[in-house]
Structure 1
Amino acid sequence: MRALWRVLKLLLGASPKAMARGAALAVTVLLMGVALLGLSGWFITATGLAGLAGIGIAFNVFQPSAGVRLLALGRTAARYGERLLTHDATLRALAALRVDLLRRQARAGGRALARLRSEATLTRILADVDALDGLVLRLALPVFAALLTHAVVFAMLGWLAGWPVALTVAAIYLPLAALVLALLARSGMAPSREGEREAQALRRGMIDMIRDREALILGGQLAARETALRAGDQRARAASGALDRAERRAGARLSALVALSVAGALVAGGWLAQAGGLDPARAAIGIFVALALAETVLPLRRGFAELGRMVDAASRVDPGASAPGDDREGQETERAEAPILSIDRPEARFTLNRGEALALEGPSGVGKTTLLLRIAGLMAGEGIAIAGHAPENWTEGALRARVAMLPQRSALIAGTIRDNLALAAPEATDDTLLQALQVVALDAVVRDRGGLDARLGESGAGLSGGQSRRLALARCVLRAPDLLLLDEPTEGLDLETATRVLDNLRAALPDSAILATLHRGGDHVIFTERLTISRP
């Protein structure tokens, strides 16, 4: 529950003024509804009593009827404003939650980010943020508005209809409604969690089936996969049905509570009227006010029914939790006598010292990329030592300062070329950035596009595949790592450009150890050794 409170604090703090205005309008709507029904009840009762007494012609009907119309129109306008402001504030709050979540993930290390790169995790994050939209709209604001409305109504009812009536209504409503809603939250905890879990599994299963449909058809597994998805759908429906039944039971109990409160107000008001302490018209106010207060508790059912879903979602996106990075006290000192890289695995055995370069060759699918990922600490693996220590024994910061990797898929962002290079060297000068671009033979391309301030689209749109890879390689050059891992660095380049890039790379990083996986170009002069990797 602490995580839920922290998420709620973040949501409310994202747009506090809009939330406060929305809450004020929510209270206004409830108070106007209570006042409308209370005034209408008094008006009807007083008019009837005046007619029975034969003084109906002298009764002023204009002011009460004007008040009824004012409250009805005001309530409608306040309801519209309340919906507009609270929904707008909630959308702003969810945007702030997404930004906070992304910031924490951005601070995570490479190992944690590698674990996040799965469809299940991304789908889970999106669903968790969506689940929390009801935390404000269905739970926090309605509960706050209900409690404040009951406090104001208690005071006004005690003044107009007598304190016995006010105490009776409050004593029935507040404790019994809290009990009913607590029971609903408890009974709905498991089915709301189960329903959300099964819904996510069903969504992922559908995506997987559509993506792998050809393989499933060829393997004769399509019918079995469909049967499994139908079973998951049935489980999700069963959990949803259990939650709906719990909510309906709570609705029936709350309706009975409203009837009991109306009966209590009738008895208390009748007793005061019979004792002569209150006229019958004012005694009727308590009855109608008790009936109108149903609007404060009945809408709370859905929020309390989905509390389990919200608690689970909040525990995963908890803003008070640390980023899923690397909190271990890792090794940060290299062994002076150890090589920069030492590999002793079934598929390959070699060492790399400063200034050496090795070309790793082999057919596709043999595991060259996997080996690079293990060396970079993005996948677990034994038999790997960087400066004498296994990758997992280095802290995230120390490992990234020592090792840089160029993957097959270039990771570029929408923005300027300077923005993309600044990811590796935020404080680098323009001259330094241009020198890095010259190393990867991209300086002329950038100059023709308008220089470092030339803008790129999403994922580097505007550059060719080879140009995108060279821009990502320029970031590695800016890091000047002790160990540079290159996964097919010359892919998409003509022979002349590939030769130029490799020559410049060694000249710019003379002391760096370079390990490159290649389909071609392994005979280049910069590579002091070539090794063909075998299947482990």
Structure 2
Amino acid sequence: MTALLRILRLLIVASPWSMARGAMLAVLVLLMGAALLGLSGWFITATGLAGLAGIGIAFDVFRPSAGVRLLALGRAAARYGERLLTHDATLRALAALRVDLLKRVARRDGRQLQNLRGEAALTRIVADVDALDGVILRLFLPVLAAVVTHAVAFAALWWLAGAPVALSVLVGYVPAGLIILIALGWRSLSPSRTAEDEAQRLRRGVIDLIRDREASILTGSLAAGEEALLQTDRTARAAIRRLDVQERRAGLILAVAGSVALALALLAGDWVLSRGSVDAASAAIGVFVALALGEAFIPLRRGVTEIGRIIPAAERVLSEAEPAPVPSKEGRCEDATVLSLRVGDKHLSLNTGQAAVLTGASGIGKTTLLLRIAGLSTLSDARISILGRDPSHWAEADLRDAVTMVPQRSVLIAGTVRDNLALTGITDERAMWAALDAVALAETIRHRDGLDTLLGEGGSGLSGGETRRMALARAVLRRPKLLLLDEPTEGLDTETAAKVLAGIRAALPDTAILAALHRDVAHPLFGARVSLEL
């Protein structure tokens, strides 16, 4: 429940005035519904008694009928306004939360990002945030409206029909309603969680099957994959059916509780009427108000059945929404050394225009060290200074302007070559072509559709080496002070690798470069520079 309260606070703070107005209208809708039935019941009873007494012609029917019309129209208008305000505020809050969560995922440790399955993370975030709309729309607002409406109805019935009628309605509805909803929530925890988990597994499975359909066809595993998805779908549907059964059963019991409250109100009204405390029309009000109060429990049934889906989603969202660490406010040191690195007893200094190669056996930690320098990991215990400051002491935006890293896994998006290069924020065509020339990729792109060449998901349409060079071209466009390269020549033939390294240096003459390499360590770019062996 703590997670629900924290999420509730986040959503309300996102649009407090819209939420407050929507809450007032939600309460007003239920109050108008209870007042409408109460007034209608009083009006019908009073006119019937006036007719029986033979004084119908003297009975004022205009003001009560006007009140009935006012309440009916007002209730419809309030319902529309409540839906408009609360749904708009909730959707805005959830949209902002979704963007914030995606930003926080993007700030994860570099190793985590390399191992992250983007579609799985995106699907999880979208589903979790979508589940949270029930916190406001199906839990908070209905509970608030039900509590306020019952309190006001109790006070009004006490005043109009007497304490016995008011107490009969309150005792008939509230305890039974609470017990039924608590039992419904408890029994719905397991099926609602199962339904959500299986739905997520189904989405991921469909994405994986579509993405790997060629491999599935070639290996003959397509039918097995389809059957696994169908079984997941059957499990999810079975859990949803269990939820529906639980909700309908709770609805039936609530209806029975409502009938009991109605009978108690009728008996209490008869008792106060026999004692002469109120007239017959006033005694009948409790019966109609008891009938109207049943509306307060209808939206709560669906919200309570989804509690098993909402609570885990809230916990996951809160774990992602922890405040990001704030960089220290150290002043910038004007140090001529672009990179100062000490690992054990090894030391490396890179100034403007210098380059060094980082060598060592596979798995020894070269990539981890580069991630640490780039401020994307905290695993390495190396002592690092970039322009006089530790990477953790830089503001994120400033560090990204100063340092660019090209990892082993090159990531491209579906779209044009122009779209992929424009991710750097540089849209000048001449700069784009210069960057492609630097990585020996310009001729390949010119022979196709130029910068408008379409690439598929993940950059499909380019070979592995071309994909790597496209990522290097993006790094060239950034023109950083420090460029970190993790196996930049992997997948390239010797001649092309030499051209790419020379082209990068020619395009970025003032950039300090540190590259982790297994081959091409003797390239002239690094020949006269410092080599660090780990």
Fold match by TM threshold 0.5 = yes
Quickly say closer, same or farther: Cα 1:140–1:386, change in 2 above 3 A: closer
In angstroms, what is the RMSD of aligned CA positions? 4.3
Residue type of the alignment partner of 2:179: L
Separation in 2 of the partners of 1:419 and 1:25? Answer: 47
- 1:74 corresponds to which letter in structure 2? G
1-structure distance, mates of 2:106, 2:211: 29
Which position in structure 2 is the counterpart of 1:487?
488
The corresponding residue for 2:51 is 51
Alpha-carbon distance, 1:490 to partner: 11
1:503 to 485, 488, 505: 505
Instruction: State how 1:368-517 maps to structure 2 within 5 Å.
Output: 373=367, 376=370, 397=392, 405-407=405-407, 408-409=410-411, 420=425, 469-473=472-476, 475=478, 478-480=480-482, 484-488=485-489, 498=500, 500-504=502-506, 507-509=509-511, 512-516=513-517
The whole-number CA distance in structure 2 between the counterparts of 1:396 and 1:142 is 49
Number of the residue aligned with 1:300: 300
TM-score of the two chains, using structure 2 as the length reference: 0.74
Which residue identity is paired with 1:487? P
Gaps of 5+ in 2: 326-339, 373-378, 385-389, 443-454, 460-465, 529-534
d(CA) in 1 for partners of 2:364, 2:97: 35
**Cα displacement (A) at 1:439:** 13
| Alpha-carbon spacing, 1:506–1:156, altered in 2? closer, same or farther (3 Å) | closer
3-state SS of paired residue (1:487): coil
Partner of residue 4, structure 2: 4
Which residue identity does 2:10 align to in structure 1? L
Q: Aligned partners of 1:376, 1:403: CA distance in 2, in Å? A: 11
Structure 2 distance, partners of 1:121, 1:438, is: 32
Could you say what secondary structure the match of 1:184 adopts?
Answer: helix
The structural deviation recorded for 1:176 is 1.5
Deviations 1:77-98 (A, max 9, x none): 1111111111111111111221
In structure 1, what is the Cα distance between the partners aligned to 2:504 and 2:75? Answer: 73
Partner of 1:21 in structure 2?
A: 21
Q: Is the 8 A contact 2:36 2:71 kept in 1?
A: yes
Report what 1:381 is aligned to: none
Instruction: Please give the alpha-carbon distance, in whole angstroms, between the structure 1 residues aligned to 2:420 and 2:17.
Output: 33
- Letter of the structure 1 residue corresponding to residue 13 of structure 2: G
Q: Report if aligned partners of 2:184, 2:305 keep a CA contact under 8 Å in 1.
A: yes
Give yes or no for contact 1:439–1:508 (8 Å, CA) kept in 2: no
**CA deviation vs aligned residue, 1:157-206 (integer Å, no higher than 9, x gap):** 11111121112211222222111111111000110000000111112112
Q: Counterpart of 1:478 in 2: which secondary structure? A: coil
Judged with a 3 Å threshold, the aligned counterparts in structure 2 of structure 1 residues 86 and 322 are, in CA distance, closer, same or farther, namely: closer
Q: Is the 8 A contact 1:185 1:304 kept in 2?
A: yes
Per-residue CA shift, 1:10-48, capped at 9, x if unaligned?
111111111111111111111111111011101110111
Check 1:403–1:77 CA distance in 2 against 1; reply closer, same or farther (3 A cut). Answer: closer
Distance 2:476 2:273 in 1: 88
8 Å Cα contact 2:265-2:287 kept in structure 1: yes
State the number of aligned residues. 461
Paired residue for 1:218?
218
Q: Which moved more, 1:220-229 or 1:466-475?
A: 466-475
Amino acid paired to 2:342: E
Task: Answer yes or no: is the 8 Å Cα contact 1:202–1:229 preserved in 2.
Answer: yes
CA shift, 1:406, in A, is 1.1
The normalised TM-score by structure 1 is: 0.74
Residue type of the partner of 1:334? Answer: R
Stretch moving more, 28-37 or 198-207 = 198-207
Alpha-carbon shift at residue 473 of structure 1 (Å): 3.6
Contact kept? 2:498, 2:523, Cα under 8 Å? no
Give the drift of 1:227: 2.1
Q: Deviations over 1:278-306 (max 9, x none)?
A: 11100000000000001111221000000
- Counterpart of 2:334 in structure 1 is none
* Residues 114, 415 of structure 1: alpha-carbon distance in 2 compared, 3 angstrom cutoff: closer
Q: Partner amino acid for 2:211?
A: R
Task: Say whether residues 1:334 and 2:335 are aligned partners.
Answer: no
Closer, same or farther: CA 247–499 of 1 in aligned 2, 3 Å: closer
**In 2, Cα distance between the equivalents of 1:133 and 1:266?**
39
In the TM superposition, residue 112 of structure 1 has moved relative to its aligned partner by 3.5
Work out the CA distance in 1 between the residues paired with 2:18 and 2:418: 33
8 A contact 1:104–1:323 mirrored in 2: no
Does the Cα contact within 8 Å between 2:184 and 2:304 map onto a contact in 1? yes
The one-letter code sitting in structure 1 at the alignment partner of 2:22 is: G
The SS at the match of 2:155 is helix
The structural deviation recorded for 1:126 is: 1.1
Shift of the alpha carbon at 1:213? 2.5
Question: Contact 2:485/2:514 (CA < 8 Å) preserved in 1?
Answer: yes
CA contact 2:188–2:243 (8 Å) conserved in 1: yes
Measured in 1, the distance between the counterparts of 2:266 and 2:248 equals 27
Moved more, 164-173 or 222-231: 222-231
Q: In the superposition, relative to structure 1, how do residues 7 and 50 fare at CA in structure 2: closer, same or farther (>3 Å)?
A: same
Give, in whole Å, the separation in 2 of the partners of 1:175 and 1:396: 59
The aligned counterpart of 2:98 is 98
In structure 2, distance between residues paired with 1:370 and 1:80: 64
Residues 31, 149 of structure 2: 8 Å contact kept? yes
Compared CA separation, residues 86 and 316, structure 1 to 2 (3 A): same
Query: Which residue in 1 is equivalent to 2:450?
Result: none
Greater shift in the superposed pair: 22-31 or 307-316: 22-31
1:302-337 residue CA offsets vs partner (Å, 9 max, x unmatched) = 000000100010010016853699xxxxxx993452
Mapping 1:157-236, distance limit 5 Å: 157-236=157-236
SS in 2 for 1:318: helix
Equivalent-residue separation in structure 2 for 1:415 and 1:270 (angstroms): 79
Contact 1:142 1:296 in 2 (8 A): yes
Match of 1:74? 74
Is 2:291 the partner of 1:291? yes
C-alpha displacement at 1:470, in angstroms?
2.8
Q: Where in structure 2 are the equivalents of 1:29-48 lying within 5 Å? A: 29-48=29-48
Identity %: 49
Counterpart secondary structure, 2:515: strand
Give me the whole-angstrom Cα distance separating, in 2, the residues matched to 1:27 and 1:151: 11
Shift of 1:515: 2.7
Q: Contact 1:112–1:324 (CA<8 Å) still a contact in 2?
A: no
Letter in 2 for 1:469: L
Distance 1:107 1:525, change over 3 A: closer
Question: Distance between the aligned counterparts of 1:52 and 1:22, measured in 2?
Answer: 45
Per-residue CA deviation, residues 59-79 of structure 1 (Å, 9 max, x unaligned), is 111111111111111111111
Question: Relative to structure 1, is the Cα distance of residues 221 and 440 closer, same or farther in structure 2, using a 3 angstrom cutoff?
Answer: closer
Give the Cα–Cα distance (whole angstroms) in 1 for the partners of residues 214 and 123 of structure 2. 23
